[in-house]
Structure 1
Amino acid sequence: MRDMSKKRSVLPRRKSLFAALLLTAGLFSPSVHASEKLKIGYNNWVGSAGVFVAQEKGFFKQAGLDVEFVPFKGPSDAIPPLVAGHIDVALTTADNVVLVNARSGSDLKIIFATDTSNGADAVVSKKNLTSLADLKGKTVAVTQNEVNELLLLKGMEKAGMKPGDIKSVNMDPDSAGAAFIAGQVDAAVTWEPWISQAVAGGGKVVFSSAQVPNLILDVVTVSPATIKNKSRAIAAFLAAVDKGTAYVRSNPDEALPLVAKRLEVKPDEVKGMLVGVRLYDMAGNARLLHDKVAAQTLDNISAFYSSHKTIPKTLKGSDMVDGSFIPAH
């Protein structure tokens, strides 16, 4: 995993927004002002390790924030409450931003990427099914109209298959993993720790997110109203997350048990799961957001969903990215 924890002084290259936000958030000083409240919607995903460590180590509190975490089962479940204004921030996936903006006319913005899946999402099959092509006519558990189905469809497209070539059963990733291990389906699109458990039980990974870089991008998403009304708190939140990510890299012996506590697994399992993701810090986000990498990912997702009639129109990726909280590199 690349080490991107080195700090860089880049404030003079931005106009005044980022510097002003940091100054008003009290991030250049240990002193804090009255705590600001943020409600964060999340699901248990190893790529949020920096967020979990920031909470467990008190980095949010140090930044003058009172952060309330609202749990959801999957990355899409936090989107409706975000649109309705019941939460301030959603830790979700880029594809969900495309889906809601295209379908409802919402204008959600991606302001940060926590990580990208690099093998931690995959299609697992019975050991006698050695490729995606072998899944023709087979029963596959997958979360329909979400990121896991997108991964499956991308893999099938590469294998020259059509969506109708399989029998799709709608299940969330955890249920899909459990159903596969129980022998109820021929294959499943799931995530860690179910992938490791499936392989340990004799299953085989026939396609994974490592084969489609940045397709499954985990992001911090907010509404324009939150950007306008809580910019200081958002800047403080992202700085604390960046600090948490750096801590994961520099102090793994202490950080991994903290993440394991949140995921309800063993620290060694977290270590293994982190191999399947690439964590992004501020420097990584500068490349993603300012060099248009995230926008291109969104363009690809939008075009793909549009071609499959999943969304009524194609959206422009750059319209869904707000890099104002990220210093230039």
Structure 2
Amino acid sequence: MRSLVRVFGLLLLLIVPSCAREETEPLRLGTVLWPGSEPLFLARELGLTDDRSVRLVEYASLGEVGRAFRNGVIDAAHMTLDMALVLQQHGFEPRVVLVLDYSHGGDALLARPEVRRLENLRGRKVAVEDLTTSPYVLGRALEQAGLRPSDVQIVRIPVDQQVRAYEAGEVDAVVTFEPFVDRLRRAGAHELFDSSALPEEIIDVLVVREDRLARYSRQVEHLLQGWFQGLEYLRRDPDGAAARMSPRLDMSPSEFTTAMRSLRLLSLDENRALLGAPSPALVGPARRLQRFMLSQGLMQEPIRSEEMLDARFLEEVREDGR
């Protein structure tokens, strides 16, 4: 009997630490260079979130973020709503727990100086990043000029390699986002189209894999609380926040402040309206986005976008952190 008790005790010693490890395992959140994701890093720097609860995993491109999410390498990701729709269509079950921002100029189509108008893109080489919002922005821009994607030569290049491709003369135009918009301007490109022409269409969201939500519920609440406290710090001390956030994007604080004007960060009340039942306001924009994507072959079949939205974690959050 004593030997059985000892065996049972040893088994408990093996089981309990593994459970503790699982309970304290951090949520792995995939991010990419983008002014709208910087409050995540600001919250970490200010101690509003910690690596024991949330681990920020930095990727070179949104395409890499999407692949990591699909392969289960990360538990959550910062991505655009159109990317989330495609993931849902393919059965990867992303759940939108936070709407980060609207892009109002932060995404853009830039071209060489001799390409003066959108109509001049016919037959030209245009760089886009695969599996991201770039094909959507290109499609909407070409639609405005009476062109279709088949009227240009689409070259699929990761976002971190697009400036090099432009400077090497490999492409005539690039669809990208800040801070790469700023870098292309420095290289001599000019804007033909940007997301300010698409009000509330380019939407950045934070998604968590549906099969990881229960395991990481505490970490998700911690992350959202830190996010809104970071936004409050940004509101109170914009200059100090810009000084902290700009170095990662290789921008000066003034350049970062200008880039931040090309997007709109959303408040807690706005998030609750966008994601909360019984009538989530995000459903309308998601349906409009989906219709265009279906018409352009960017999605193959419709989905019920409302099934992606999860507002329950927002109910426990306060902007002042109290």
How far off is 1:225 after superposition? 2.3
Residue of structure 2 in register with 1:310 after alignment:
298
Question: Does residue 74 of structure 2 align to residue 98 of structure 1?
Answer: no
How far off is 1:74 after superposition? 1.8
Question: Does residue 181 of structure 2 align to residue 192 of structure 1?
Answer: no
Question: Does residue 265 of structure 2 align to residue 276 of structure 1?
Answer: no
1:162-189, Cα deviation, whole Å (9 max, x unpaired)? 1111111111223223322443321111
Tell me the distance in 1 between the aligned counterparts of 2:167 and 2:199.
27
How far off is 1:65 after superposition? 4.9
Tell me the distance in 1 between the aligned counterparts of 2:299 and 2:187.
37
Asked if the contact 2:63–2:131 (Cα under 8 Å) also holds between the matched residues in 1, the reply is: no
What SS does structure 2 have at the residue aligned with 1:161?
coil
| TM-score, normalised with respect to structure 1 | 0.81
1:24-78, Cα deviation, whole Å (9 max, x unpaired)? xxxxxxxxxx9662211111111112211101101013xx953222111222322
| TM-score, normalised with respect to structure 2 | 0.83
Question: Does residue 309 of structure 2 align to residue 294 of structure 1?
Answer: no
In our comparison, the structure showing a higher alpha carbon Rg is 2
How far off is 1:201 after superposition? 4.5
1:213-247, Cα deviation, whole Å (9 max, x unpaired)? 22221111012222222222211210110111121
Tell me the distance in 2 between the aligned counterparts of 1:224 and 1:204.
41
Unaligned stretches of 5+ residues in structure 2: 1-22, 317-322
Asked if the contact 1:174–1:191 (Cα under 8 Å) also holds between the matched residues in 2, the reply is: no
Tell me the distance in 1 between the aligned counterparts of 2:72 and 2:186.
42
What SS does structure 2 have at the residue aligned with 1:68?
strand
Residue of structure 1 in register with 2:38 after alignment:
49
Tell me the distance in 1 between the aligned counterparts of 2:229 and 2:63.
26
Asked if the contact 1:135–1:166 (Cα under 8 Å) also holds between the matched residues in 2, the reply is: yes
Unaligned stretches of 5+ residues in structure 1: 1-33
Kindly, what percent of the aligned residue pairs are identical?
27
Residue of structure 2 in register with 1:74 after alignment:
61
Tell me the distance in 2 between the aligned counterparts of 1:76 and 1:141.
14
Asked if the contact 1:49–1:248 (Cα under 8 Å) also holds between the matched residues in 2, the reply is: no
What SS does structure 1 have at the residue aligned with 2:213?
helix
1:259-302, Cα deviation, whole Å (9 max, x unpaired)? 12332332222112111111123123123223633222222232
Asked if the contact 1:42–1:91 (Cα under 8 Å) also holds between the matched residues in 2, the reply is: yes
Count of residues in Structure 1 that have an aligned counterpart in Structure 2: 292
Asked if the contact 2:139–2:296 (Cα under 8 Å) also holds between the matched residues in 1, the reply is: no
Distance verdict in 2 for CA 1:260–1:320, change over 3 Å: same
Tell me the distance in 2 between the aligned counterparts of 1:70 and 1:315.
29
Residue of structure 2 in register with 1:89 after alignment:
76
